[in-house]
């Protein structure tokens, strides 16, 4: 396994993040679109990772892991100082996992297996191969997480989503956004369902959760994050966050602190 290393913000080389192994990446670090001939699993043992493809963006907060199949062009962005753990999955094992990028919850067993595979040198022939098989078995039985934010192809819908990307906290209604994009509220509502598979409200909530994860990772308080991302009160933000992420924002930040102190 490659040695652990610190990557600086100045580096723009895709190879700066190891193809397998571990590396510390600074807040805001980006990797431009690229692809791999084999599959790739990326786990942020500390920090938060966003993976973007032509199909949209997947965010992996604490205790989540991203999967990118072979040949899938993708880019990465990291929030908070991130302990990135990367596993290359041989092509013969890739058929066991989804044929599209995905995010999975990380069980205690899966976490320990990933840490061992990215931290320790193999001491017995075949040990890493056997442990990687355990990782694949764990993922096969793990449901995907609802942290995918799809992106549209329709120009009218993209005009709306671009406005929301630029300011996730804006409270503009779909009708008001439609006037800016040159489309009716009814047309846009239909496009959200047919192109993105979700309502306007669900898409905007997911977008806000993506930004909330980044703010919480950087240490912003729950109340300030709620206000920054467009919620009128912390209670409604906590409910929405728990619905998407599976835990409250306070618990998420507590786990971030625990993970960082354990490394």
Q: What is the pLDDT of residue 143?
A: 80
Q: What is the pLDDT of residue 18?
A: 56
Q: Which part of the chain is CATH 2.60.120.280?
A: 5-148
Q: What is the pLDDT of residue 258?
A: 72
5: β partners: 23
- Report CA torsion sign: 139, 120, 73, 197: positive
Task: Classify domain 150-262 at the CATH topology level.
Answer: Arc Repressor Mutant, subunit A (1.10.10)
Q: Tell me the whole-structure pTM to 2 decimals.
A: 0.79
Cα(133)–Cα(42) distance, rounded to whole angstroms? 16
Q: Which part of the chain is CATH 1.10.10.60?
A: 150-262
Domain 5-148 annotated CATH 2.60.120.280 = yes
Please name the residue that has the structure tokens 């496009």.
191
Q: What is the pLDDT of residue 23?
A: 86
Condensed to tens digits (0 to 9), the pLDDT of residues 37-86 reads 999 999 988 888 899 988 889 888 877 899 999 999 999 998 888 888 99
pLDDT lower than 70: segments of the chain = 1-19, 122, 259-263
> Each residue of 115-131: b (16+ CB within 10 Å) or e?
bbbbeeeeeeeeebeeb
Greatest C-alpha distance within the chain: 65
């Amino acid at each position: 396994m490659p040695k652990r290393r610190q990557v600086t913000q100045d580096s723009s080389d895709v190879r700066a993040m190891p193809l397998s192994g571990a590396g510390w990446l600074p807040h805001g670090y980006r990797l431009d679109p690229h692809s791999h001939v084999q599959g790739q699993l990326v786990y942020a043992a500390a920090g938060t990772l966003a993976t973007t493809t032509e199909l949209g963006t997947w965010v992996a907060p604490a205790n989540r892991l991203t999967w990118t199949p072979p040949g899938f062009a993708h880019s990465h962005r990291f929030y908070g100082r991130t302990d990135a753990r990367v596993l290359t999955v041989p092509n013969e094992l890739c058929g066991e996992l989804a044929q599209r990028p995905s995010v999975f919850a990380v069980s205690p067993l899966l976490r320990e297996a990933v840490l061992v595979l990215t931290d320790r040198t193999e001491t017995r022939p075949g040990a890493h191969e056997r442990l990687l098989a355990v990782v694949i078995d764990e993922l096969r039985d793990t449901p995907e997480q609802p942290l995918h934010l799809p992106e549209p192809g329709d120009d009218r819908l993209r005009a709306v989503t671009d406005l929301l990307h630029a300011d996730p906290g804006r409270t503009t209604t779909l009708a008001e956004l439609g006037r800016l994009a040159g489309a009716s509220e009814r047309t846009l509502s239909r496009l959200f369902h047919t192109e993105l598979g979700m309502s306007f409200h669900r898409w905007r909530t997911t977008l806000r959760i993506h930004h909330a994860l980044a703010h919480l990772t950087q240490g912003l308080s729950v109340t300030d994050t709620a206000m920054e991302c467009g919620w009128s009160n912390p209670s409604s933000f906590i409910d929405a966050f728990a619905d998407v992420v599976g835990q409250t924002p306070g618990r998420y930040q507590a786990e971030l602190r625990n993970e960082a102190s354990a490394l």
